[in-house]
Amino acid sequence: MKFITVKINDDDNWEPDEDFWVQLYEPSNPDSMPIENATKLEGGDTKTIVTIIDDDKPGSIAFEESKPIKAIASTGKAEIKIIRKNGSDGTVTVNYETVELDKSDHTATPGKDYVSTNGTLTFK
């Protein structure tokens, strides 16, 4: 087994994942023939694609639970976990605010059933 090493140039900029090919060719004298004139090896396994995975993605912010969160009144608080996923590059901030659903009988009322709040979360 032999290996080909291709240097990847890393930067701090977000960009989509990028691809390039590695092609195998018949042996030739590198001083006399440019690679574009060389004969490609035959077969479906003589060319492969390499994907450079961008590791500079900031990720996304989401609620840890996708289901409704249950808060027991006697505990005096609701803890809502916010997570950063699918990336971790750079500082990301997100604003939040509690919002009354509607005016129905089953809707919690700010100031009566809970304390309205808002703010900013920062993920480093």
pLDDT at 38: 84
- On whether the CB atoms of residues 25 and 35 are closer than 8 A, the answer is yes
Q: Which residue has the higher pLDDT, 103 or 31?
A: 103
**Residue range 33-62: average pLDDT?**
84
> Looking up tokens 């919002």, which residue turns up?
99
Least confident of 16-30, 92-106, 107-121: 16-30
What token pair was written down for 78? Answer: 């609701």
Q: What are phi and psi of 102, to 5 degrees?
A: -165, -165
Asked if the model's pLDDT at residue 79 lies above 70, the reply is yes
Residues 40 and 93 in one domain: no
Domain hosting 115: range is 60-123
Residue 76 to residue 74: CA distance in whole angstroms: 5
Residues 28 and 46 in one domain: yes
pLDDT at 65: 87
Q: What are phi and psi of 6, to 5 degrees?
A: -120, 120
What total of structural domains would you count in the chain?
Answer: 2
Residues 77 and 51 in one domain: no
